[in-house]
Chains A and B, each alone.
Chain A
Amino acid sequence: MGIEGRVWKYGDNVNTDVIFPGKYTYTIHDPHEMAKHAMEDLDPDFAKNIRENDIVVAGRNFGCGSSREQAATCLKFAKVGAVVAKSFARIFFRNAINMGLALVQCPEAVDRIENGEAVKIDFEKGELTCKVGVFRFPPLPEFVLGIIQDGGLILHTKKKLAKLTEAQSKTG
């Protein structure tokens, strides 16, 4: 599984308020509508010009701040292929996994990647290829990968519950 896309590069501590402003948190429920406001208070051009599989590259602590899941949802539905960062804030990290949004933690690559360049990511091999070369990144824990592979937490849970029901109907 891999993707190739253009880079949108940002700095450290990109917080959830600039990714998805608080004023929309209870007024927008449709994820496609959320996508139109992705990164609005950081880069108003982002949502207008983002193309499928484009890659967000950022510094340390990406997604810090609120627990708002829409910060992950809006990027997922804006069709961002992956977020590559030096590090991620904890709740954003969980939310991204739960939404099935791919995250790559690769501090070495971040400093060498330039805004606008084309980058290729192979998730299975754990390899990121950019203009200056190839960088390796550690794969996610198996349990977590399972959630992403099922398409996010909700589908993962539905699958688990279906298995449980099946097992119960066999025994009962």
Chain B
Amino acid sequence: MGQTFVEKVFSKKLGRAVRVGEIVEVIPDVAMSHDNTAPISLTFKEIGVDRVYKPDIHVIILDHATPAPTEQYALNHKMVREFVKKYGIPHFYDIHAGICHQVMAEEGFVLPGRIIVASDSHTTTYGAFGTFGAGIGRSEMAVILATGKIWFRIPESMKITLKGQLPKGIVSKDIILHIIGKLGADGASYKSVEFHGEAIGALSVDARMTIANMSIEMGAKNCFMEPDDKLLEWLKPRARVPFEVVKADPDATYETELVFDVSRLEPQVACPPDVDHVKPVSEVAGIKIDQAFLGSCVNGRLEDMAIAAELIRGKKVHPGVRCLVFPASMNIYRQALARGYLQTLVDAGAIIMNPGCGPCLGAHEGILAPGEVCISSSNRNFRGRMGSRDSEIYLGSPATVAASAVAGEIVDFRK
């Protein structure tokens, strides 16, 4: 009987066929943590071992509140740096590198067929590389530091086939928002979600990462997209070690199979306070905004900067709007600089910020006051997420964010 991706990747790891529902223990190929390495290190100490089990499987990247906005955060970062030094963690990226998931990909840690865990929910992003990527908690990461091991229940799989050709200007963010709106915030709860079909193949690697990233917003455990030539080409200069592609068998059994046609999609917007509260932009156009946020691990890549720059070229950000731009990594920052995207955005009145998570999780760099509204290219619009519990966040594509920043209200960028 054929196996799904997740069954196959765990079977390969364990050297025997696994079944859905089985609980297994594995040593992950890579385990990544970010600013939360500080509290993780305290839990690690509590376990009482005197060394990290396998320092070279760990990657630590500071991105959540960088540079430190307060003394408390500064202390946090200091603890992480000291931990890295003391226990000889070879892969450490300080505050200059960028958002952890982007850095993980650019630095060639995320490779087909690997099992990667990270103490961050958006670890599903790695599915775009044919990688098993799942978010875990802090205590679990502390235990991996101490023992190398983590348990998993082999999940059921859902197959989503995307067919058709995207209309001009419509991007992968619109696809995934549309799917989340249809399936709901728990529509793929606990599932390994596989994306197949011509519409995935047509997307760039950047754009695929957007869909994989947000699959957690419908509850997915992990995501999977089949590696193709486009991906292998992308990986060529980046992969740190040799890898073996793992694909689902053609006769694999899925719990659910769904087909979406992307050829008639409109720009999509997720309305507060839930990511699955999705409407076509025509239904929310006209809502006044105070802030426009372009960035985050879902939409802060080069392609996103290019889209925004193209739309905003020769125009001005509305005087009532703070337009904040966060390239997802220093590498993207440099390229966006070299290609003139950042110049265009600055000339229009946008503020270019440092690579990192920015205001996405409400820690710093663009917190919302009560009553304020933000249009955001990020992935969560929960109440209070970006500051006051009485502020509101609308999620859209980089094009929707850029056009709305100019208009001072949510608009359909095609008009």
> Which A residues form the contact surface with B (CB < 8 A)?
12-13, 15, 17-18, 21-23, 25-27, 29, 40-42, 60-61, 64-67, 69, 72, 87, 89-91, 94-95, 98-99, 141, 143-144, 152-154, 157-158, 160-161
Contacts and interface: CB of A to CB of B under 8 A. Distances in A.
Nearest to B385: A17
A18 B384 contact: yes
B138 A69 contact: yes
Among A17, A67, A153, residue most surrounded by chain B Cβ atoms (within 10 Å): A67
Identify which of A26, A61, A161 gathers the most chain B CB atoms within 10 Å of its CB. A26
Nearest to A64: B185
Contacts of B72: 26-27
Q: Is the interface of B mostly helix, strand, loop or mixed?
A: loop
Contacts of A91: 121, 135-137
A15 to B, nearest CB: 5
Contacts of A144: 23
A15 B383 CA distance: 9
B361 interface: yes
Contacts of A94: 136-137, 140
B46 A154 contact: yes
B49 interface: yes
Contacts of B73: 26-27
A90 B137 CA distance: 11
A90 B190 contact: yes
9 contacts: A60-B186, A64-B186, A67-B120, A67-B137, A69-B138, A94-B137, A141-B23, A154-B46, A154-B143
Contacts of A13: 185-186, 274, 276
Contacts of A154: 43, 46-47, 139, 142-143
The 6 closest A-B pairs by CB, nearest first: A61-B186, A17-B382, A22-B361, A41-B384, A95-B137, A22-B362
Given A25-B361, A41-B384, A61 B189 contact: yes
A49 B171 CA distance: 47
Contacts of A67: 119-121, 135-137
A27 B35 CA distance: 11
Interface string B346-384: 000000000000000111000000000000000010111
B11 interface: no
A161 B185 contact: no
A90 B23 contact: no
Given A17-B380, A25-B64, A98-B139, 8 more contacts: A17-B384, A21-B389, A26-B363, A61-B189, A98-B140, A153-B140, A154-B46, A161-B49
Contacts of A98: 137, 139-140
Interface string B24-45: 0000000000011011001100
